[in-house]
Chain A
């Protein structure tokens, strides 16, 4: 596959400098795979440069220089190329960054850096849902009028892709965006009033703007099968969240209608929490206030912890935590 004319010309014009950069990068990253770097240039950088050349041809050389350096860093650190640490980086550069060509032409380092870093962070925190984040960033590109907008959209998309701890910050930055951008980022229909959406989001973490009720969430599995827990987890409610003890490890569990996530916590946090209790059962259903939740676990050892908006159910017979909205 040949390089586009735009990238080929930019590389040819700065050939000696670009070659020097590779030599320098090889000193910094002795295992730098130059073949993988070449492939990344061709597959991932080329579509971006081509897009930049079409919207701001005078910025092609500058963007190429910065994209080239970032690509060297990414390949050198193993985020791209053979045995990559990021499964989606190629796709992000190939498919998503061209959507931001105009913004990249103005602020190449910030936009490429923010998109790349955020993708790697979401992949680390919610590996199964990073694709969702990427798709959202692709779809939201027309709303990103500045780097500030891009960062806000990225944060909202990260929250909606399962980084539940970003929820409060995401709602706050959404309120600072133009209403159409905020509604699109939240996933609300364009005809809704932002003020209504905003109030609902603040009132109930499990509220979904699309109108569908929030679905229960199952979190965690045995670590031997790639899950998060070495032992069946024990939960304590701590305000709006939970603290999970599994073996000797402690995590903070943050959950809302967009997903649930485990973050590091300490034994002190666990001690501060309110212990789980044995639930009231009616046949195979848990009875919590006016709620009735059908459950497919043995009644023996079932434990329920209640946070401000969430019901968490654990059992000695499973490594997973079941999460339900309170209302």
Chain B
């Protein structure tokens, strides 16, 4: 008798059904699909890759990870909400398909070949989840376990990357004669570094080269690594490791996922595993394993997902909030938090001089830094990946809202002395950074709505006009645009208070002004 395959069933129904299209209706295979598995199902190769990705997600949720938390919430229409406890926290029962970040984010990392850090206490499945991702890429559990790099305080660069061959070391006349025995994990498409915050600082630098530039170097020899998804784990990412993680290495990590605690209500599921002696990672169904070509194709398809201009505009508006630090500079361009940070001046002292604005309302006052280009690129690619995973062809604002906290988790640093955190209702945002980041995005969107920027955004109109090109623009038209820009600057600064989004608008207007000015110079020279 065959086994019941308790852990090997994958979803045969569409995992995220959309309104049907007529071409789908006439599949006679439906007649013979049902509760009895006859082995004559529809060929799996016909599935779109986003469906395969969802099947992988649901297999993990239903079989591999006990007690998933649905913290990425989507709603279609109003959700059922409850106010719970003395702290009056909201419990939401989402009205649409919602997801568990602990599974979804690694899966999106896998599909986009980015870098994901699992944080959380020991025994919460961080390493097991990372191994699962390797299994999805077609490696065996044994291969993944052997290839996993375990951080420890004595880890050397040779431990990490490879050794020069001893015989060559003795006989070589030059560096080129020394052959290197590269570690096998460097060639893998899924790389796991367990407890990366226990790696000594010098070895971290070697790891940074592999993570950041995708090559390894030992004794002047270079090993080019293939594009791969990275999974790192840390018991405590807030400085509790053996070694402080160098900032550049932290910055290379694209998303951070927190392993949430086990809900004892699911103890029965653990009992089945104990009694059946089953390890889910050893029972991944072959239907959800991705070939290298499939991961390449999924990556291409993800990059092809559209970010509509209205979503992009809101993201621009959000990102504009944080870099301005009026008191840090004299010249307009240098009034940034980066200027203050580079000067090494005491932050609180500079911040104290920053007055006049509503520091509660100004979102920029809540952070110690702004967003880097890398952060924004990561945010875009993961928003696209989430939209792709949900079976959409364009990013929705909700996708950005859901993914944003995991991308900016340790990138946007809170300024805990800010008036926002002093309010009793906001005190918990000091510890719950994910919720704080999502709240920041919500507040930014509220301000965007208040300013009615969806309908009236003159700077955007000017940018669109400029993007059509200057070819054929007459001197008169260019002068009219310059006058319009100057008039707009005068109008925008009438309020006297400078906020982050206004600062970026003024810099954009300056840029446009400069381009038209240069064009006029060129026109006159003809």
Q: Which residues of A contact B (CB under 8 A)?
A: 14, 17, 21, 24-25, 27-28, 65, 69-70, 73-74, 77, 79, 109-110, 112-114, 116-118, 120-122, 151, 154-155, 158, 163, 165-166, 168-169, 238, 241, 250, 252, 254, 263-269
Query: Which 3 pairs of residues, A with B, have the shortest CB-CB distance?
Result: A117-B34, A113-B38, A264-B20
B281 to chain A, nearest CB (A): 20
Given contacts A21-B4, A113-B34, 5 further A-B contacts (CB under 8 A): A14-B1, A114-B32, A121-B32, A265-B19, A266-B20
Are B31 and A154 in contact, CB atoms less than 8 angstroms apart?
yes
> Once bound together, how far apart are the Cα atoms of A154 and B19, in whole Å?
28
A224 to chain B, nearest CB (A): 22
Are B32 and A117 in contact, CB atoms less than 8 angstroms apart?
yes
Residue of A nearest to B5 (CB): A28
Chain A binding surface, main DSSP class: helix
B342 part of interface (Cβ distance < 8 Å): no
Are A168 and B26 in contact, CB atoms less than 8 angstroms apart?
yes
Are A112 and B32 in contact, CB atoms less than 8 angstroms apart?
no
Q: Are A116 and B34 also in contact (CB < 8 A) when A252-B22, A263-B25, A266-B20 are?
A: yes
Docked complex: B255-301 residues within 8 A CB-CB of A: 272, 276
Are A117 and B35 in contact, CB atoms less than 8 angstroms apart?
yes
Are B1 and A69 in contact, CB atoms less than 8 angstroms apart?
yes
Number of interface residues of B (CB under 8 A): 25
Residue of B nearest to A17 (CB): B1
A to B contact number (C-beta, < 8 Å) = 97
Q: Which of B4, B6, B32 contacts A118 (CB 8 A)?
A: B32
Are A155 and B28 in contact, CB atoms less than 8 angstroms apart?
yes
Q: Which of A21, A109, A169, A241 contacts B38 (CB 8 A)?
A: A109
B36 part of interface (Cβ distance < 8 Å): yes
Q: Are A169 and B1 also in contact (CB < 8 A) when A28-B6, A73-B35, A120-B35 are?
A: no
Residue of A nearest to B38 (CB): A113
A272 to chain B, nearest CB (A): 9
Q: Are A158 and B31 also in contact (CB < 8 A) when A113-B36, A267-B19, A268-B21 are?
A: yes
B30 part of interface (Cβ distance < 8 Å): yes
> Once bound together, how far apart are the Cα atoms of A168 and B27, in whole Å?
11
Are A116 and B35 in contact, CB atoms less than 8 angstroms apart?
yes
Q: Which of A25, A158, A169, A254 contacts B4 (CB 8 A)?
A: A25
Are A121 and B34 in contact, CB atoms less than 8 angstroms apart?
yes
Contacts of A112 in B (CB 8 A): 36
Contacts of B40 in A (CB 8 A): 110, 114
Are B20 and A265 in contact, CB atoms less than 8 angstroms apart?
yes
Q: Are A110 and B20 also in contact (CB < 8 A) when A25-B4, A166-B26 are?
A: no
Contacts of B3 in A (CB 8 A): 24
Docked complex: B1-48 residues within 8 A CB-CB of A: 1-4, 6, 19-22, 25-26, 28, 30-40
Are A263 and B38 in contact, CB atoms less than 8 angstroms apart?
no
Residue of A nearest to B9 (CB): A28
Q: List 6 A-B contacts (CB under 8 A).
A: A14-B1, A112-B36, A117-B32, A121-B30, A158-B31, A263-B25
Q: Are A264 and B31 also in contact (CB < 8 A) when A109-B38, A112-B36 are?
A: no
Contacts of B4 in A (CB 8 A): 21, 24-25, 28, 69
> Once bound together, how far apart are the Cα atoms of A269 and B38, in whole Å?
34
> Once bound together, how far apart are the Cα atoms of A116 and B34, in whole Å?
8
Residue of B nearest to A89 (CB): B35
Are B26 and A165 in contact, CB atoms less than 8 angstroms apart?
yes
Contacts of B1 in A (CB 8 A): 14, 17, 21, 65, 69
Contacts of A70 in B (CB 8 A): 36
Residue of B nearest to A263 (CB): B25
> Once bound together, how far apart are the Cα atoms of A169 and B26, in whole Å?
8
Max chain A C-beta neighbours (<10 A), residue from B19, B32, B39: B32
A156 to chain B, nearest CB (A): 11
Q: Which of B6, B26, B34, B38 contacts A110 (CB 8 A)?
A: B38
Contacts of A238 in B (CB 8 A): 22
A26 to chain B, nearest CB (A): 11
Q: Are A252 and B25 also in contact (CB < 8 A) when A27-B6, A117-B31 are?
A: yes
B285 to chain A, nearest CB (A): 16
> Once bound together, how far apart are the Cα atoms of A163 and B36, in whole Å?
21
Q: Are A269 and B22 also in contact (CB < 8 A) when A28-B4, A154-B31 are?
A: yes
Contacts of B39 in A (CB 8 A): 109-110
Q: Which of B2, B25, B35, B36 contacts A165 (CB 8 A)?
A: B25
Contacts of B22 in A (CB 8 A): 238, 241, 252, 265, 269
Contacts of B276 in A (CB 8 A): 27
Residue of A nearest to B4 (CB): A24
> Once bound together, how far apart are the Cα atoms of A269 and B25, in whole Å?
12
A124 to chain B, nearest CB (A): 9
> Once bound together, how far apart are the Cα atoms of A71 and B38, in whole Å?
14
Q: Which of A110, A166, A266 contacts B31 (CB 8 A)?
A: A166
A255 to chain B, nearest CB (A): 14
> Once bound together, how far apart are the Cα atoms of A168 and B26, in whole Å?
9
> Once bound together, how far apart are the Cα atoms of A113 and B6, in whole Å?
19
> Once bound together, how far apart are the Cα atoms of A267 and B6, in whole Å?
39
Q: Which of B25, B26, B30, B36 contacts A116 (CB 8 A)?
A: B36
Residue of A nearest to B39 (CB): A109
Contacts of B26 in A (CB 8 A): 165-166, 168-169
B147 to chain A, nearest CB (A): 33
Contacts of B37 in A (CB 8 A): 113
A242 to chain B, nearest CB (A): 11
Contacts of A113 in B (CB 8 A): 32, 34, 36-38
Are A269 and B35 in contact, CB atoms less than 8 angstroms apart?
no
Contacts of A116 in B (CB 8 A): 34-36
Are B38 and A117 in contact, CB atoms less than 8 angstroms apart?
yes
